[in-house]
Amino acid sequence: MIKAVIKPHTSKLETPAITTAEAYADYNDLMDMTEEMLSGMVKEITGDYKIKYQPKPNTKEVEIDFTPPFKRISMMEGLEERIGEKMPELDDPEVDVKLEKILEKFQLECPPPHTTARLLDTLVGEFLEDGIIHPTFITEHPQIMSPLAKYHREKRGLTERFELFVCGREVRSTMSFIGSGERFVMIYMAMMIIKMLAPVREHIIGVPW
C-alpha cells in the first residue's frame, strides 16, 4: 500500500516535501525496491545502465553507472573510513566538542548553532555526499539526526533510514517510521515548535535540529 506523507527534514539544505513514494515495507525492502525501479527505468529508457550527465553548465560530462546492486554506506562507518579515525560516541557528553575538533582538523565550517546533528551533517556533506557519482545509499543515520525514524534493531543509537545519492544529489530519503503513534506525534510537534523558534534556537541548549 502506498500513502502520501510529509517528509521530515533535519538539514538546512533540505526542504519539506510531500511524497507518494512511501510504502508499508521494511527499509531494507524499500532500498531493494528503489534500486530495482531506478536501474530498470534507466535501462528501459536508454538501453543501458550507464548514462552521461553534465552536473553543471560548462562542466565536463561524467558517466553514471546504474548497474545494480547500488553501493551501501553506513553513515558513521563511512565517515570513519574517510577521515581515518574513530568517530566519538554519540552519547558522549563531549561529543560536540570532539566533532568540532574534527571539523577544525579538516578546515571545515559549520554555521551555528553547533548541535550534534548539524556538525555531523557538515561532515557527511563533505566526506560522503559530495564525492558520490554512482547511485549510493547512505544508511543508518544517528537517532539525533532522524528523530522520527525507527530505532535500528541491532545498532544502538542508529536508525533504519536511508538516503540515495547520485552525482552528489539526494534523490530519495526513506525510513522505517517509529512504531509508537503517540511518540511520533510528540516528536513531530516538538520539531514544529523548534522550527517556530528558529530565530532564537541558537540559544537553546541541546536542540538536535
The pLDDT tens digits for 33-92 are: 999 999 999 999 999 999 999 888 888 999 999 999 999 999 999 999 999 999 999 999
Band of pLDDT at residue 188, cut at 50, 70 and 90: low
pLDDT tens digits, one per residue of 140-149: 999 988 877 8
Q: Rounded to the nearest 5 degrees, what angle is found at the Cα of 77, between the Cα atoms of 71 and 82? A: 85
Q: Tell me the DSSP string of 83-137.
A: HTSPPPPTT-TTHHHHHHHHHHHTT---PSS--HHHHHHHHHIIIIITT--S-EE
Q: Rounded to the nearest 5 degrees, what angle is found at the Cα of 162, between the Cα atoms of 186 and 13? A: 75
Please report the pLDDT score of residue 196 as a whole number: 58
Q: And the C-alpha cell for 57?
A: 553548465
Strand order in the sheet with 136-139: 71-74, 136-139, 161-166, 169-175
Residue type, 24: Y
Superfamily for the 2-203 domain: Bira Bifunctional Protein; Domain 2 (3.30.930.10)
| pTM score of the predicted model | 0.76
SS3 54: coil
| pLDDT, averaged across the chain | 81
Rounded to the nearest 10 degrees, the angle between the axes of helix 116-124 and helix 95-105 is 30
